[in-house]
Amino acid sequence: MSKAPTKAPTKAFASQADLTEKKITFEQLSEHCWAYTAEGDPNSGVIIGDRFIMVSDATATPDMAKDLIKKIRTVSDLPIKYVLLTHYHAVRVLGAYAYAAEGATEIIASEGTLGLIKERGAQDMKSEMERFPRLFRGADSVSGLTWPTMVVGGGDPTKSEVPGKLSINLGGVVVQIWHPGPGHTRGDTIAWVEEEKVLFSGDLVEYEAGVYTGDAQLEEWPATLEALRDLKAEFIVPGRGEAMKGNANVNKALDYTKLWVETLYKAGKEAVAAKMDLKAAMAHTRKSMDPVFGHVFIYEHCLPFDVTRAYDEASGIKNPRIWTAERDMEMWKALQS
């Protein structure tokens, strides 16, 4: 009597099975700049002036933001007046209101990020929380979407008179905030401390971690990375991965991200040209991506979303389709079957 075929185990959706806590590092990079990094989990940056503090990327929940605030309080008791949202993703922004009790009065984002919050912030919050529950510890402390109080121009296809760059003096250190071009989203914003050559890039740059591109502008992203390279930064706090020190290592992170984006998009264009379906496009993309990136943190989490976006953009869908919790699961089941 023949045995029934054994079913392959179902792969856990996205990063639902990732329950391992990461080691947090809080390190000083220059006189005023600090990196808060977590072994491939989302990073934040901290800039401490003589009068005020700015945080770049607020963390995913107010409960998690309190961990960063505790680190800040080991080195300064100044008010945290500014919180920068480098883009709209929930894992970066929902912790923002924890800083209000620490003196925060301004939440900064680009026009593009504000538009994306309005257009898809609620759907993104639900889908991200279901993809990676560990990164939303204390999710019940989230009171709702995070809205900016200061807006910098850029990232919105409509014309605007909003200034394209903000210069904020924290006392003894000036932070430039601007939109260098589309990439990880259409509204990415960076913080640049020119005097100390420190760049806080958000998810425009990653290093030795998955590069999530589900909401990306893949065609334009490499040029945006080159605009960042022109800054000749000596330090970078990427969205994920260790803080990089020295211009050669900054360029290493830029090169890593650029290679991911270009390899992915090339495979997507080839798949569309060959009239592959999405599942075949995934198999085709793995041939070029797995050997180079298959070992890095959240690679398997990112790849289905990345391949879907690359396929869409190569098919002419310039504005990324909105991810919902339902769409997430439909895509995952189709590609993992």
User: Residue 147's closest CA among 176, 114, 99, 125?
Assistant: 114
* Residue 51 burial (CB count, 10 A): 13
- Ranges of each domain in the chain: 25-336
Question: In this predicted structure, what is the pLDDT of residue 314?
Answer: 98
Q: Which of 128-137, 181-190, 311-320 has the lowest mean pLDDT?
A: 128-137
The CATH label, of 3.40.630.40, 3.30.540.10, 3.60.15.10, 1.10.1200.10, for the domain at 25-336 is 3.60.15.10
User: Under a CB-based contact definition with an 8 Å cutoff, are residues 86 and 112 in contact?
Assistant: no
Return the residue matching tokens 């402390």: 141
d(CA 249, CA 233): 10
15 confidence band (pLDDT: 50, 70, 90): low
User: Is the pLDDT at 61 greater than 80, yes or no?
Assistant: yes
User: Using alpha carbons only, how large is the chain's radius of gyration in Å?
Assistant: 20
d(CA 134, CA 38): 13
Question: In this predicted structure, what is the pLDDT of residue 160?
Answer: 64
d(CA 331, CA 308): 8
pTM of the full structure = 0.93
Mean pLDDT over the full length of the chain? 92
Q: Which residues contact 297 (CB under 8 A, 6 or more apart)?
A: 39, 40, 208, 209, 210, 240
User: Is the pLDDT at 92 greater than 50, yes or no?
Assistant: yes
Element housing 199 (H / E): strand 198-202
155 confidence band (pLDDT: 50, 70, 90): confident
For 29-56, write each residue's pLDDT tens digit. 999 999 999 988 999 999 999 999 999 9
Question: In this predicted structure, what is the pLDDT of residue 124?
Answer: 94
